[in-house]
Amino acid sequence: MKWIFRSLLATLIGMLASVTVSANASHIVDAQLPSGKVASAYFQAGKKDRPAVLVLHGFLQTRAFPTVVSVVEAVSTAGYTSLAPTLSLGITKRNKSLPCEAVHMHTMEEDAAELAFWVRWLVKKGYPSVILVGHSYGNLQLLTYLGRQPSPAVKQVLMISLTDVEKKQNAQQRSALAEDLRSRIAKGSRALVDAEMGHCNKYVSPPAALLSYVSISRESILGALAKSTVPTEVIMGSKDDRMGPDWIEKLISRGIVVRVIPGASHFFDNQYEFDLQESVLKSLQGAASKR
């Protein structure tokens, strides 16, 4: 009888302990950025012998975006430590996607600096190896970061649905817009500009901030990918309507490893969610075996 009571008590204590551990293992982290703004991230600790995976959301989105959540779930379940920050975009504790018509004062450089902050945060936390995973426009922020002396802890980059910036506006249109913005900046104008940018038909931003995004072109993306010292892999959906028909070929022609999931869209929704998870895990395991 005593023995049964003790085992029941032990089971209960064990259950309570496991709840506490799991509650500690995953939580929302708030951190003050060098700019003074407070940014937050979802953090889930995994096995210590595995690299930490930082998953970055797309343009104006948050870590709650379904594609990001799906990838974070997959890597966490596989035992990787995961960190999914929400870029502040100049707003303390931003927790919702930012509409195109809102005032966008953030710049690409600030986004990259925030990314660098979270990589440092992971390293300080005791993760010597970090893998960066981006979705859509978030990949351009990863590329910008990689172009500015990335931390040696970054061992691999995985880009999901790498954005083709010239899908909606061609190189000439973007170049003309960039020229107009430079001219406004030269005149000292800080008046808001309302322009077509990314998926937005009306993106409202001061000239300098807008220019930091508009100055990115297909060529600059391909050039940055080619120059990157960190091994990079791209995962694309064959039915992604946010890229030009030759975008995948262009990437492959520059020697970039591209995995194409047949039938998947830009967001890898429906049944393609599992194909994406499988593909991401394969890439992570491949990187681990190379190391």
- 101 near another protein (CB under 8 A): yes
Closest approach of another protein to the CB of residue 181, in Å: 16
How many whole angstroms separate alpha carbon 167 and alpha carbon 216?
13
Look at residues 103, 112, 95 and name the one whose alpha carbon lies nearest to residue 30: 95
Q: Which stretch binds another protein (CB under 8 A): 101-109, 217-225, 261-269, 277-285?
A: 101-109
Stretch 174-213: interaction string toward another protein, x if CB under 8 A: ----------------x-x-----------x-x-------
CB nearer to another protein: pick between 93 and 125:
93
- 28 near another protein (CB under 8 A): no
SS3 state at 59: coil
How many whole angstroms separate alpha carbon 65 and alpha carbon 75?
16
How many whole angstroms separate alpha carbon 110 and alpha carbon 35?
9
Diameter of the chain measured on Cα atoms = 87
CB-count exposure of residue 291 (10 Å: 0-12, 13-18, 19+): exposed
Q: Residue 140, CB half-sphere, CA atoms under 13 Å: how many? A: 23
- 64 near another protein (CB under 8 A): no
- 92 near another protein (CB under 8 A): yes
- 108 near another protein (CB under 8 A): no
- 27 near another protein (CB under 8 A): no
- 69 near another protein (CB under 8 A): no
* Residues at the site binding another protein, with contacts judged by CB under 8 A: 37-38, 90-96, 98-99, 101-103, 105, 190, 192, 204, 206
